[in-house]
Amino acid sequence: MQQKILVARAVFPDVIDRLSQYFEVAANQADHVYADQELVEKMTGMDGLLTTGSERITAAALAANPGLKAVCNMAVGYNNIDVDAATRSGIMVTNTPDVLNETTADFAWALMMATARRITEAEHWLRAGKWVKWRYDTLLGADVHGSTLGIIGMGRIGQAIARRSSGFGMQVIYHNRSRLTADLEGRANDAQFVSKEVLLRTADHVMLVLPYSPETHHTIGAAELALMKPSATLTNVARGGIVDDVALIAALRERRIASAGLDVFENEPALHPDFLTLPNVVLTPHIASASESTRRAMANCAADNLIAALCGTSPPNLLNPAVRRKE
């Protein structure tokens, strides 16, 4: 009898076709976002799941589906999955690292530069018919070249962002759970390891690229924002919840920092409505990895993981290697 899998959100049709060669596939190509209990019901009888960051795979959901063998997330982050509960139940959990590093780094730069140079604010101003003459002080922004870039979270994506800074003559400082090797620091434009406090006080442009966890919740809050320069920018391409959105809104409104570029938000997609009232914030809808080639690579990586997990081999991106597949 064929094993059954649930593909919880819409994905490229050719990926569904590929999975159908191995499994009986319940595909959600209508892209309905399942509520928690609805998802539990859809999981019933499934051997595997292909999920995205929008599905909450809780301990209760796992307990209600004891036949489940694998949860394969189409994302680098996996804070939507209770990995500890999965491990206790013998369920393999995977993610899709590496395939989106360069695309996300490209987007992080685009968002930081749009923030520093007030690109979206300028476009809105132009579209509103306010451009009637040149002035010396129209929409003055901050330089990127020759400035100091501070990266919090120096994993693969953070290092890719740092490498791009060499073309702009930037100094790179970073804070991470652990210091990189001297070789990796050298490849990352001679990045210098500093404390979080020094980074926030020093950087002209602060970039957040760290994973979300209870320990990183509100890594940037009111106290941290108070350390930043009034001329500084903040860019978040990591996860919502790393920044205290209410504190950031207050800092932007009061011009205690110059501007922010945000691709992720607390409670997304229901972002705090006050962001929409602020001219000095660039807002994008969680699209840092959204090039077609990268999203295809992510989908196929998740499929690779699921096929391996259910066909008896070790998935290439197993997050809980201690788990033993239940027979």
Catalytic residues: 239, 268, 286
CA 241 to chain CA centroid, Å, is 11
d(CA 162, CA 176): 13
Is 148 within 8 Å of 202 (Cβ atoms)? yes
By C-alpha distance, which of 7, 88, 98, 91 is closest to 54? Answer: 7
Beta bridge partners, 73, equal 51
DSSP 249: H
* First-to-last C-alpha distance (Å) of the chain: 15
Degrees to nearest 5, angle at CA 295 with 309 and 50: 30
Q: Which residue from 213, 144, 216 is spatially nearest to 175, judged by alpha carbons?
A: 216
Angle of helix 101-116 relative to helix 156-164, nearest 10 degrees, comes to 50
Contact between residue 199 and residue 175 where contact means Cβ atoms under 8 Å apart: yes
Asked if 115 contacts 143 with a C-beta cutoff of 8 angstroms, the reply is no
Q: Give the position of tokens 């649930």.
A: 6
Residue 67 is classified by DSSP as T
Q: Residue 178's closest CA among 196, 197, 154?
A: 154
